[in-house]
Amino acid sequence: MGYEVRGNPAMQWDDGSEFAIYVNAFIIEGEVVGGVYDTQEDALEAARALILELGVLSGEDKILDGMDGAELQDRINESERVGFAQVAQRDVLFS
């Protein structure tokens, strides 16, 4: 988990700072998978890796690299194997 100051990672707590995490959550063939990450980039990379590992969008690794969270989430939700996908959802734990 990491601290953010106006959207930028920081190592100390200042006024106006938020403690935020990024969450991936998927329901794939009835199984819930996902994780919690320090940065949006980590969450996006984990989502890409999971999707390729599970074969939901296999063979599209070059396309996936250029997608942001919303695009990736939309493509994942189009799969018949996926009941729900949330990619890199930013959650503020406290501010």
For the stretch 33-55, pLDDT in tens is 999 999 999 999 998 888 887 77
- Tell me the pLDDT tens digit for each residue of 54-65: 776 656 656 777
DSSP run (H or E) holding 77: helix 69-77
Cα three-residue angle 12-21-19, rounded to 5 degrees? 30
For residue 7, pLDDT beyond 80: no
For residue 28, pLDDT beyond 70: yes
Hey, what are 9's tokens?
A: 């990672």
The one-letter code for the residue type at 81 is: R
